[in-house]
């Protein structure tokens, strides 16, 4: 009897709790639109936030409940957009292929390290404590924070700087978020011409720290027939919405810092 009564009381409490939970589950049950589940299943589950929503599940819910565009998933691309359209019974929306590009040409042949960092081997750690470890404070630190977050094996550290393979890139933007120097941009694959330098120093200072740096001479800006390249504060930048890939800026650049980045 010493053990029986407590056991009966405990068992009764368990049964009562189970009954109450079952009733509560039925009373408060909210029916989930099966389209949300199907759309979520069509997404790559990268949960990268590139679509502008918290994750794949949130994006799927927004498509059904808020009318969000069906072509916002960069990693999923056209396959995901087609599957979503099939679930909704609508025409598939066009997906513009995107890729990441690293705006730096300061490899080991062009520049040098100002010091060897022996702390935690992280670009963010270097940036936090010293600002930079290379002669150019704007350039790629090269410790691979971007590599660590890339799920597609699209980013590699080659000769001291990060390089992206467009054919592997899912354009999720995780590498761009990870880069403390904000060197990585997500842009359309079709827009192939890019300035691979992020320096804001004048030409004299830039050439002292990196042989491949932009000197802000504005020749590219003058040669561009579409006003797609702008030089501001010694920094050249391409407005991809106006760029036609003509390559005149690339051909005219005296330091050859403008490159055609093929897929």
pLDDT in tens, 164-195: 999 999 999 999 999 999 999 999 999 999 99
Mean pLDDT of the chain: 91
Measured CA distances, 127 to 105, 134, 142, 180, 214 (Å): 19, 11, 11, 7, 22
Residue 257 in contact with residue 212, Cβ under 8 Å? yes
pLDDT confidence band for 261 (50 / 70 / 90): confident
Q: Which residues pair with 190 in a beta bridge?
A: none
Read off the pLDDT of each residue in 220-238 and give the average, rounded to a whole number: 95
Q: Where are the extended beta strands (E) located within the chain?
A: 98-102, 155-158, 161-164, 184-188, 193-195, 229-232, 235-238, 258-260
Q: 99 in helix, strand or coil?
A: strand
The yes-or-no verdict on residue 6 having pLDDT over 70 is no
Place of tokens 């290379």: 134
The yes-or-no verdict on residue 3 having pLDDT over 80 is no
**Domains, the chain:** 34-88 (1.10.15.40), 98-260 (3.30.70.20)
- Give percent above pLDDT 70 in the chain: 92
Q: Rounded CA gap, 154 and 211, in Å?
A: 26
Q: What does the pLDDT read at residue 98? A: 95
Each residue of 104-160: pLDDT tens digit? 999 999 999 999 898 899 999 999 999 999 999 999 999 999 999 999 999 999 999
pTM of the model: 0.83
Q: What does the pLDDT read at residue 70? A: 95
pLDDT confidence band for 27 (50 / 70 / 90): low
Residue 103 in contact with residue 198, Cβ under 8 Å? yes
Q: Determine whether 125 is exposed, middle or buried from the number of CB atoms within 10 Å of its CB (0-12, 13-18, 19+).
A: middle
Q: Rounded CA gap, 127 and 75, in Å?
A: 29
The yes-or-no verdict on residue 13 having pLDDT over 80 is no
């Amino acid at each position: 009897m010493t053990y029986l009564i407590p056991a009966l009381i405990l068992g009764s409490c368990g049964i009562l709790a189970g009954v109450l939970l079952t009733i509560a589950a039925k009373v408060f049950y909210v029916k989930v639109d099966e389209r949300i589940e199907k759309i979520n299943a069509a997404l790559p589950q990268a949960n990268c936030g590139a679509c502008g929503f918290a994750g794949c599940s949130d994006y799927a819910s927004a498509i059904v409940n808020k009318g969000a565009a069906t072509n916002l998933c960069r990693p999923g691309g056209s396959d995901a957009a087609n599957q979503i359209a099939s679930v909704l019974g609508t025409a598939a929306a066009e997906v513009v292929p995107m890729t990441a590009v690293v705006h730096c040409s300061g490899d080991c042949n062009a520049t040098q390290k100002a010091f060897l960092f022996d702390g935690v081997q992280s670009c963010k750690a270097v940036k936090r404590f010293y600002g930079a470890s290379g002669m150019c404070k704007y350039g790629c630190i090269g410790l691979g924070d971007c590599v660590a977050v890339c799920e597609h094996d699209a980013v590699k550290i080659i000769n001291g700087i990060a390089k992206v393979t467009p054919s592997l890139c899912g354009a999720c933007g995780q590498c761009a978020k990870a880069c403390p120097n904000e060197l990585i941009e997500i842009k359309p694959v079709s827009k192939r011409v890019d300035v691979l330098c992020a320096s804001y120093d004048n030409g004299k200072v830039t050439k002292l720290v990196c042989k491949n740096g932009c000197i802000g001479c504005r020749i590219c800006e003058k040669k561009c027939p579409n006003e797609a390249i702008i030089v501001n504060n010694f920094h050249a930048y391409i407005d991809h919405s106006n760029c036609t890939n003509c390559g005149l800026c690339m051909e005219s650049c005296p330091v050859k810092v403008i490159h055609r980045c093929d897929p």
